[in-house]
Amino acid sequence: MSKKQLLGALLGVIAIGAIGVGAVYHQFTIESAFHRFVSVVTGASEKPLLSSESRYIRQIVAADNSTGRTIMWQSDASEESSIVEYRLAGSDEIVTVAATNTMFTDDGSTTYIHEATLAELIPHTNYEYRVGYGDSRRSNWYPLTTAGPDDSYDVLIYPDSQSGDYTVWENIVKDSASRHPNAAMYMSMGDLVDNGEQASQWRTWLSSVEPLSARIPLAPMMGNHEMYTIDWKMREPRAYLAYFDVPNNGSSTFDRRYYSFDYGDVHYIVLDTQLYEANHDDNSDIHHPDLYDVQIEWLRQDLATNNKKWTVVLMHRDPFQYAFANRDGRDAGFSEEGVIFMPIFDEYNVDLVLSAHLHTYRDRGHVRNFDRDATGPRYIITGIAGDARYPGLWREHPLDVYVAPQPETNNYMSLTVEPNRLTVRSYLPDGTELETVSIDKE
Ligand SMILES: [Fe+2]
């Protein structure tokens, strides 16, 4: 914190007492007041931010999205006095939170990443926020809505977007966002980019989600491509971890590579299925043979303390294994990730498991103990939203109940959460519905 921010924070403490901020903001401790303070809009001259000062303004899911939300953005130059301001929609009482200013250099390209996590928000409430620097430079205001405990809401779900040419992906985001203007959140199923080190692909990806990113939170997930170097070796997912500050998981080695969060009455678990990349012997300096052992311990603990009605798991690698259509070498069955994780999903009665990686949309119905069973989780592999298509690569699996028309083009999905029903819908890029799946629970 700079001297100027410290002074601002102290003035803020005084302001809290002086203006009697009421029920909304009265719970600050002195400690938190050093990071957050309240002011009233004065009409002082405000300069809009240049694009170079306000790139990729985005909301990222917090652990509890009824009371928290992470705001991130980037600038081309270092900005020490970065802040996030927020207010109840329609109010003129502004809460200010100090934001970070972290230089990130990768692939010869430098950006400055700013972020702040808003906490102690009121559930089921409409806020507005903006970002800025010092006393005068500010972005536009953007909406920020907290989840309520029983909220019904829609989520947009995007399968692998890795591309050579991201035009297809950009259009899918733009068109799906306009068809679902009330979506509360969006998710990426991993392999956001084709090469996890290439800075230009990250810039493209972060730009592509602008129809959504400032106004609703993203739940991202790592895929194997997030761990590739420019020369296609493995590395730690540096760029992915820098760009998406998802909730912590308590592991120093694997922090934020897998995580969980709540939105309404759903507990979402996002797994890291990249054991092959994390333990691949190709001159890379990463060797993490214990990724799944550590993660399983965390997963069991996470599921044991989950008190939400619904549980949804997101995992990049598919728990099922598909045989190749035109060559031998793989039998239909279950992948290493399926063999390891599916019994845990059974044990804790997970409702829905979404996966990716194979670039095909298939619904395998409810499965328990590796076989058809209406009491088991529903397993859907989410398809492809980029241009890396594998037409006709996979045979049908004995458990497939729906396969997208072949050869596949692209698709996206939505999840509608209601008190007694989850509804998963898949769509072609033009909005044509492919499949609708409902899961009911009293
Ligand atoms: Fe993948």
25 C-alpha to ligand 1 centroid (Å): 44
* pLDDT at site 329: 86
Is the link from the previous residue into 405 a cis peptide, with omega within 30 of 0?
no
* pLDDT at site 129: 98
229 C-alpha to ligand 1 centroid (Å): 15
386 C-alpha to ligand 1 centroid (Å): 12
Which carries the bigger pLDDT value, residue 268 or residue 43? 268
148 C-alpha to ligand 1 centroid (Å): 33
191 close to 357: Cβ distance less than 8 angstroms: yes
pLDDT band at 377 (very low <50, low <70, confident <90, very high): very high
- Residues of the chain with pLDDT > 70, as a percent, come to 90
What is the C-alpha separation between 117 and 329, in angstroms, rounded? 48
* pLDDT at site 233: 93
437 C-alpha to ligand 1 centroid (Å): 24
Gyration radius of the chain's alpha carbons: 22
300 C-alpha to ligand 1 centroid (Å): 25
Which of helix, strand or coil describes residue 5? helix
- Residues of the chain with pLDDT > 90, as a percent, come to 85
What is the C-alpha separation between 342 and 365, in angstroms, rounded? 14
CA triple 188-189-193, angle to 5 deg: 75
What does 210-278 look like in DSSP terms, one character per residue?
HHHHTTSEEE----GGGGB-TTS-B---HHHHHH--PPP-S-SSSTTTSEEEEETTEEEEE----HHHH
389 close to 365: Cβ distance less than 8 angstroms: no
Task: Compute the residue count for the chain.
Answer: 442
- Give tens-digit pLDDT for 355-376: 999 999 999 999 999 999 999 9
In Å, how far are 35, 97, 119, 348 from 10, measured between CA atoms?
A: 10, 13, 19, 48
Residue 403: its H or E element? strand 402-403
355 C-alpha to ligand 1 centroid (Å): 10
Q: What is the mean pLDDT of residues 102-125?
A: 98
- Give tens-digit pLDDT for 7-65: 344 333 333 333 323 223 323 333 333 355 565 555 557 899 999 999 999 999 999 99
Q: Which residues pair with 352 in a beta bridge?
A: 312, 378
* pLDDT at site 298: 98
188 C-alpha to ligand 1 centroid (Å): 12
Encode 354-370 in three state secondary structure. Answer: EECCCCCEEEEEEEECC
Contacts of 409 (CB under 8 A, 6+ apart): 389, 428, 429
320 C-alpha to ligand 1 centroid (Å): 14
- Give tens-digit pLDDT for 168-192: 999 999 999 999 999 999 999 999 9
What is the C-alpha separation between 108 and 117, in angstroms, rounded? 28
What does 54-93 look like in DSSP terms, one character per residue?
SEEEEEE--SBTTT-EEEEEEESS--TTEEEEEEETT--E
316 C-alpha to ligand 1 centroid (Å): 7
200 C-alpha to ligand 1 centroid (Å): 19
* pLDDT at site 40: 53
Question: What pTM was estimated for this model as a whole?
Answer: 0.91
What is the C-alpha separation between 300 and 303, in angstroms, rounded? 5
362 close to 159: Cβ distance less than 8 angstroms: no
